Amino acid sequence: MKTWGVVALIGAAVVLAGGYYAVLNLTRTKPVLSVATWEGDYGHAQRSAQIVPFGMASGVDALFTSYNGGTKELTQQVASRHFDWDVVDMELPDAVAACQSGLLEKIDASALPAAPNGTPAEKDFVPGAIGPCWVASAIYSQVVAVAPVKFGDKAPATLADFFDVQRYPGKRALPRASAKLTVEMALLADGVVPKDVYEVLSSPQGVARALKKLDTLRGNLVWYDNPADATAMLKDGRAVMASLPNWAIFDAEKDTPAAPKMTIIWDRQLYQSEVFGIPRGNPKAKRAMDFVRYATNAPVLGKMTSWIAYGPARRSALAYVGKHPELGFDMKPYLPTAHFATAFQVDDSWWRLHGADVAVFWNEWLTKSDPR
């Protein structure tokens, strides 16, 4: 009887302890991780494929916080050591500026997950995707789009064709706001070897060469301020080709799937990155790095870029890209890294140093080309 009584007491204690820990687990506050990223389709893609799944897998309360670009808020948080963000998704130019200003934690590339086949992260990510303070998640590119059903069998297929107004007559649409991307495109079409583009642009003579190439389009140029305007020009006949971001093509076609599609010329696409950074001095830096590792592994990047027309920043992730979960679109035809054979990496550090100088030449040339 004494033995059974002891057993019963022990059993009761176990039940009580189990109940206690169950209640404790239910009432205990989860650790919190705040990920700052963009509103709209991009933020929706990250919440769906990266932020919410990370929280479920790790037991962390992973929160979405809105970010609108720049480094002002990040600077204030680092200076005050009051961190509203634990991870921030940035355009690479802002990440470069933040890194150079000491606003981001250093990142050890060897700590990132290998590809499923064992390829180290450093070799699996596209060039420039891993920096001293950042890891890229997604890639977007400036490409040439060709109006639907315009040239038939002799359709343009290379960047040089954008400048061939004899063989492919008609207006070309270019962004007015900045020389960035357009002068690189001009030099590449003029035969400059990709590795030499920024060396050539570093002199006034090199900028003049780019503008001279653009002069060959005089009389055949129309200008836009918003990528949506460029796709509208292609659809209504105001332009036969346009230089524009690849995601703008998807945005223009997703709502009218039955309409004739534009042709994308991926030759010499000029690619840029969306990257993750961790605010310097953040006490949650270890947890933040756990998120970065999770969010940039190949299967997760493939799922994320199934939601939006950005390419995964690592090659092995393409195998995990499927149809858009809500729209049913096959996404690979729109993704830069699925067409990467001649891709050209935009050098944001170079533009940070030389952008103001190039802008002087660009604005003078633009005034002559577009007097309004």
Domain containing 129 — which CATH number?
3.40.190.10
Q: Hey, what are 351's tokens?
A: 């533009």
In the predicted structure, residue 126 carries a pLDDT above the cut 70: yes
The answer on 80 and 209 residing in a single domain is no
Quick check: is 15 in a domain?
A: no
- Is residue 7 very low, low, confident or very high in pLDDT (cuts 50, 70, 90)? very low
Q: Residue 264's beta-bridge partner residues?
A: 145
The mean pLDDT value for 112-136 works out to 96
The answer on 227 and 163 residing in a single domain is yes
> Which residue, chain included where needed, has tokens 């809500």?
326
Q: Residue 174's beta-bridge partner residues?
A: 223
**Better-predicted residue by pLDDT, 3 or 100:** 100
The answer on 198 and 331 residing in a single domain is no
Quick check: is 1 in a domain?
A: no
The mean pLDDT value for 89-113 works out to 96
pLDDT, position 28: 55
Quick check: is 354 in a domain?
A: yes
264 CB contacts (<8 Å, ≥6 apart)? 143, 144, 145, 146, 246, 249, 333, 334, 339
Selection from 125, 266, 248 nearest residue 188 by Cα = 266
The mean pLDDT value for 99-125 works out to 96
Q: Hey, what are 284's tokens?
A: 């949650």
Q: Hey, what amino acid is at 67?
A: Y
Quick check: is 303 in a domain?
A: yes
Structural domain harbouring 124 = 32-139+273-339
Among 110-114, 115-119, 258-262, which stretch is predicted with the lowest mean pLDDT? Answer: 258-262
pTM: 0.89
The mean pLDDT value for 118-136 works out to 96
The mean pLDDT value for 308-332 works out to 96
Quick check: is 235 in a domain?
A: yes
The answer on 362 and 300 residing in a single domain is no
Indicate the number of domains in the chain.
2
The answer on 239 and 146 residing in a single domain is yes
The answer on 279 and 263 residing in a single domain is no
Quote the CA–CA distance of 112 and 129 in Å, as a whole number. 12
C-alpha 246: how far from chain center: 11
Quick check: is 26 in a domain?
A: no
Quick check: is 179 in a domain?
A: yes
The answer on 322 and 292 residing in a single domain is yes
The mean pLDDT value for 128-137 works out to 96
* Region at 125 (left for phi over 0; alpha for psi -120 to 50; beta for the rest): beta
In the predicted structure, residue 143 carries a pLDDT above the cut 90: yes
The answer on 280 and 327 residing in a single domain is yes
Beta strand pairing call for 135-146 and 263-277: antiparallel
DSSP symbol at 29: P
Residue 121 Cα distances to 58, 129, 136, 317, 349, angstroms = 22, 10, 11, 11, 23
Q: Hey, what are 221's tokens?
A: 């140029």
The answer on 229 and 200 residing in a single domain is yes
pLDDT, position 6: 39
Q: Hey, what are 74's tokens?
A: 């990040």
The mean pLDDT value for 199-227 works out to 96
Q: How many CB atoms lie within 10 A of CB 237?
A: 11
The answer on 181 and 288 residing in a single domain is no
The mean pLDDT value for 313-336 works out to 96
Q: What is the H or E stretch that residue 241 is in?
A: strand 241-245
The answer on 158 and 60 residing in a single domain is no
